[in-house]
Amino acid sequence: MLNTLNIILVLIITINLLFIFIFIRDLLSNKENIFKEHHNFFIVSISSFFIYFMSSFGISDFVLSTVIYNKLNYLKSKKLIATMNISCVIPCFMMAILSINSIYVDPTTILVAILSQVTGAYLTPKLISKLNKKIINIFIIIGLFTAAIIILIGKLNFFPIAGNETKLFGNKLILFGILSFFYGALNNIGVGSFSFTMATVYAMGLNSRTAFPIMMGSCALSLPVASFEFIKLNNYSRKISLISSIFGSCAVFIAIKIVKTIDTSIIQWIIFLIIIYSVFDMIFRRNKI
């Protein structure tokens, strides 16, 4: 008999295989447009490998993608958001499959988190496509700055001390569901949900290790659901998404083997400085994303 975690894994596999089918079909239908994109294959490959290798250590791939593609001036705001979502579906799928079974979380708690994030992710892509480019840029800047603050708070040990609980009850569970809905929506404006989920897990007294299966399970379901809509809207870089899916998956496969053996403290400080630099660069130089 399937338990709740196995049901979640079956759903993750089913939805992601459906995404892969739709993604490949879209690529084949638009293969001429892929060759017209002038993004450098080598640069995108190395960038994608780096982004998702770091993501396996808990560094937001949305943050890194925003910083890198902003500096390369490869993508404008709306296309960047759609491309980031579509690019990370398959690497995140691999992360979930390789790691979600290793940490216990109460089935009801993880189900609420996942279903709420999926709902938030599904309802918002069309809304995002209607937003003004300047508004999207502001959201991205706020998201980058917030991610930097959360990293800093964590490094300075200002987070509430995480408890030993693996489940939530009553009002806490309801609040967690509401917040997870908004975290799913945040992915669609280029603001990754990892840091916010981690902060919420700490604040509600859950065991800190429960953040990982909650993040992986939620993203592995919400990202393909949102990406179905982004593919329909036909405003993403197919070349970057294809390269990222391939090299990002390779990076995840390698990183997941060594994730437990490396101290990420120095990496987190470096990423913090990179984010701060990028925020001020976007504000004062007004670079187009």
C-alpha 261/C-alpha 263 separation (Å) is 7
* 19-23, 65-69, 73-77: least confidently modelled range: 73-77
State the pLDDT confidence band at 195, using cuts at 50, 70 and 90.
low
* 276-289 average pLDDT score: 61
Are 78 and 223 within 8 A, CB to CB? no
**What's the pLDDT at 287?**
47
Question: Structure tokens of 4?
Answer: 């709740």
pLDDT tens, 84-97?
A: 889 989 998 988 88
> What mean pLDDT, rounded, does the chain reach?
78
Are 109 and 117 within 8 A, CB to CB? no
State the pLDDT confidence band at 18, using cuts at 50, 70 and 90.
very high
Are 212 and 57 within 8 A, CB to CB? no
**How do the domains of the chain map onto residue ranges?**
4-285
pLDDT tens, 143-172?
A: 667 767 766 776 676 655 556 777 888 888
Are 18 and 224 within 8 A, CB to CB? yes
**C-alpha distances in angstroms, 251 versus 67, 105, 217?**
19, 26, 19
169 Rama sector, left if φ>0, alpha if ψ -120 to 50, beta otherwise = beta
The pLDDT of residue 19 is above 90: yes
* 24-28, 130-134, 243-247: least confidently modelled range: 130-134
Are 117 and 193 within 8 A, CB to CB? yes
* 221-230 average pLDDT score: 85
Q: Helix/strand/coil (H, E, C) string of the chain?
A: CCCHHHHHHHHHHHHHHHHHHHHHHHHHHCHHHHHHCCCCHHHHHHHHHHHHHHHCCCCCHHHHHHHHHHHHCCCCHHHHHHHHHHHHHHHHHHHHHHHHHHCCCCHHHHHHHHHHHHHHHHHCHHHHHCCCHHHHHHHHHHHHHHHHHHHHHHHCCCCCCCCCECCCCHHHHHHHHHHHHHHHHHHCCCCCCHHHHHHHHHHCCECHHHHHHHHHHHHHHHHHHHHHHHHHHCCCCHHHHHHHHHHHHHHHHHHHHHCCCCCCHHHHHHHHHHHHHHHHHHHHHCCCC
**C-alpha distances in angstroms, 61 versus 48, 80, 163, 277?**
9, 13, 27, 17
C-alpha 235/C-alpha 80 separation (Å) is 9
Give the angle subtended at the CA of 225 by the CAs of 222 and 231, to the nearest 5°: 130
pLDDT tens, 32-42?
A: 888 888 888 99
